[in-house]
Structure 1
Amino acid sequence: MGDVPTIGRLGLARDELAGQVAVVTGAGRGIGRQVARALAYLGAAVVVAELDEATGAETASLIEAEGGRALCLRTDVADEASVQALAGRTLAELGRADVLVNNAILCPVAGVAEMDVALWDRVMAVNLRGAFLTCRAFLPGMLARGTGTIVNMVSTDAMPGLSAYIASKQGIVGFSQSLAAEVGEGSVHVVAFGPGMVDTPAIRDVSVRLAPRLGMSQEQFLSLSLHPAYDGLMPAADAGAATAYLVARLASEYHGEMVDGYAVLERAGYLQAPTVPAPTPAAETAALPGPGTPGAATQALALAHKLAESVAQTGAEFDKLPFFARPMARGDFKNKAGQSVSDWARTAAELVARLERVQAGDAAALAELRGGHARLADLLERFAAYCRAVPAGTARFTKDQEFLHQVAEIAAEREAAVGALAAALRKIVKDEA
């Protein structure tokens, strides 16, 4: 078989998927083509399901030239009869389908106000309905055999001009998680997989209209990197190899979850996890006042003000990010910190107000603090966990060690302040219980 550079360096046996049949939709070019080649490299017979017969045939020819086995079938994943025909031919000619990779997409750039209904409906039909139809067609055979892997390709968070595409992909995330719950914890696995920012013909086509909406040139857009191992977009061959590695080694681990290509390639040892410089050891937090002293509330109040400042600074930092990255950053914060930046701002303001009343000797405020302490303690722990994760997350976007050091210092300072606040609140609640 010819050289497939990335997949050949992930430590997988050449017969890892021997005897298996993989169906890859949208396999005529880009990520789909590289997924098909990578799966074939590992020994699977690959069904190239592609609307464009010419590009599908090219992919099949590449696989065969590399020593693999491929069957090209013209398929419109949005059409029920076409998908049924795909399943029927696959069964008739190859006997089964062990792996399904839903990669076929339609990704137009159009704002909501300018988009006609037909375009919205077509995007949903190809991207979301297509995933449903193919899963419905191939899942029964997998369940009957008690084994199988479905990988549904998903994508980035919100971007202007991609409302239909992003809505369909977010729908696929929920669909994948629901499907995983349906099949349970056996040997049929369903994973939502976001390859990353990948260099494909499609993204180059889209970038012409998308880049200006993001306030950047096409060249700047195509130079974006979401991992320091890449100076720009991820090569499509790497995305294909990541998908094949996920199928071969990690599908059971990520069943019902979403994972990205960078994380998979790090697990495979192909990419190095970003290194984060250690922050300078922070000065120890002053010891909390002893039981019964009024200083505990005073210190907690000062730390609550610090929390409010940290939340405000975090929101301001997000606002300085490129437009397309802001929703991703805010979403990551909400997932890790337990609530949105605006909700955290409200929580911090309410805590400051309550502690001011406690400091003034208001018994009702102290009772309120005790009543909400368990939830607040959990939120503070999640905020601290977010702070701990910030340096590593930032290191995926830049190699600038000086900047990373600054980020680590700020994150460590915020984590320490949140930890001290949690300790002060515990002391107040315990001492006054």
Structure 2
Amino acid sequence: MSELTGRGAIITGGGRGIGLACARLIAERGGAVVLLGHDREMVEGAAATLRDDGLEATAVVADISDEADVEAAIAEAATVLGSIDILVNNAAIQPYGTVASMSPGEWDTVLGVNLRGTYLACHHALPHMVKQGRGSIVNIASVQGLANQARVAAYATSKGGMMALTRSIAIDFGRAGIRANAVCPGCIDAPMTHFSASETAPGREAETISQWGNSQPLGRVGRPEEVAEVVAFLASDRASFCSGAEFKVDGGLMASLGVALPD
């Protein structure tokens, strides 16, 4: 498939997991990608891996929660890509804590990366999209923005905010030719899931992730590539009438009441 040929894409948190899977698939379908991340070694290594496979990829190092960094990164990406047609906001962190246990500083850090970072990337990318009269923004939210597990108050709040932000962008910029959608993954075999399992059940990471997968109606954990398929679709013209929507990629998790009936 070459449906994204000539399109320039920025993927925040593009160095691993879902972000890297999105970058790879967009590039495989013809797009040129900029991987934006704060860990220089990781993001440059990821871009090099894509280039080794014959794909067009560039690394840009930036702290997504810092406005000056993001402004400079978007400007650099625009120069590298020629146009910013696709923005995938994937960068996120998920420390555990309740409203009572999490300090204001920790709360601000989570909201700073997950929600402020998404706002900043959109804020600086949107003028480019408006000028060219087209663009697709895909925000990687979470099923936790729809229904929460325990001890993820800041993360769930940030993801709920991302979905509200997505709707606002879709409404405010639709007439400018810009679409905005959110993707809500369930339990995916990605670094954040492994971190969560190690925090939740130290020493029983594999068992815990397997249990989480079994809780989804499809009975397994998802793959980053399965999320990327939805992202690439939303980035393409095949999704030309999709905007302001939330797409669940959760193995059916949110379709279930979670009530176990007797066999």
Is the shorter-chain TM-score for this pair beyond 0.5, marking a shared fold?
yes
Partner residue, 2:214? 224
Q: CA RMSD in A?
A: 2.5
One-letter amino acid of the structure 2 residue matched with residue 67 of structure 1: G
1:86-140 Cα shifts (integer Å, max 9, x gaps): 1111122222210000000011011222211111000011011011100010111
3-state secondary structure, aligned to 1:71: strand
Partner residue, 1:6? none
Tell me, yes or no, if the aligned pair for 1:211 and 1:221 is still in contact at 8 Å: no
1:66 pairs with 47, 53, 77, which one?
53
Using the TM superposition, give the Cα deviation of residue 249 of structure 1 relative to its aligned residue in structure 2, in angstroms. 4.7
1:48-69 Cα shifts (integer Å, max 9, x gaps): 0011111111210121122111
1:242 pairs with 230, 244, 247, which one?
230
Partner residue, 1:175? 165
One-letter amino acid of the structure 2 residue matched with residue 167 of structure 1: T
Aligned partners of 1:219 and 1:103: how far apart in 2?
21
Aligned partners of 1:48 and 1:99: how far apart in 2?
12
Partner residue, 1:253? 241
| Structure possessing the higher relative contact order (Cα contacts under 8 Å, 6 or more residues apart) | 2
One-letter amino acid of the structure 1 residue matched with residue 32 of structure 2: A
Using the TM superposition, give the Cα deviation of residue 187 of structure 1 relative to its aligned residue in structure 2, in angstroms. 2.5
Using the TM superposition, give the Cα deviation of residue 24 of structure 1 relative to its aligned residue in structure 2, in angstroms. 0.0
Structure 1: tracts of 5 or more residues without a match: 1-12, 264-273, 275-324, 329-392, 398-402, 407-433
After the TM superposition, which parts of structure 1 deviate over 4 Å for at least 4 consecutive aligned residues? none
Aligned partners of 2:48 and 2:138: how far apart in 1?
24
Aligned partners of 2:64 and 2:128: how far apart in 1?
19
Tell me, yes or no, if the aligned pair for 1:225 and 1:233 is still in contact at 8 Å: no
1:34-58 Cα shifts (integer Å, max 9, x gaps): 0111111001110000111111112
1:226-272 Cα shifts (integer Å, max 9, x gaps): 352xx421011222222112222554333011112369xxxxxxxxx
One-letter amino acid of the structure 1 residue matched with residue 10 of structure 2: V
Aligned partners of 1:94 and 1:254: how far apart in 2?
24
3-state secondary structure, aligned to 1:198: coil
User: What does residue range 10-25 of structure 1 map to in structure 2 within 5 Å?
Assistant: 13=1, 15-25=2-12
One-letter amino acid of the structure 2 residue matched with residue 171 of structure 1: G
Tell me, yes or no, if the aligned pair for 2:35 and 2:58 is still in contact at 8 Å: yes
TM-score (norm 2): 0.88
> Higher helix fraction: Structure 1 or Structure 2?
1
Aligned partners of 2:239 and 2:16: how far apart in 1?
24
Partner residue, 2:188? 198
Partner residue, 1:31? 18
Provide the aligned length of Structure 1 versus Structure 2.
255
Is 1:143 aligned with 2:117? no
Structure 2: tracts of 5 or more residues without a match: none
One-letter amino acid of the structure 2 residue matched with residue 113 of structure 1: A
TM-score (norm 1): 0.55
Is 1:52 aligned with 2:52? no
Aligned partners of 1:48 and 1:234: how far apart in 2?
22
Is 1:184 aligned with 2:181? no
User: What does residue range 395-410 of structure 1 map to in structure 2 within 5 Å?
Assistant: none
One-letter amino acid of the structure 2 residue matched with residue 90 of structure 1: A
Aligned partners of 1:170 and 1:88: how far apart in 2?
28
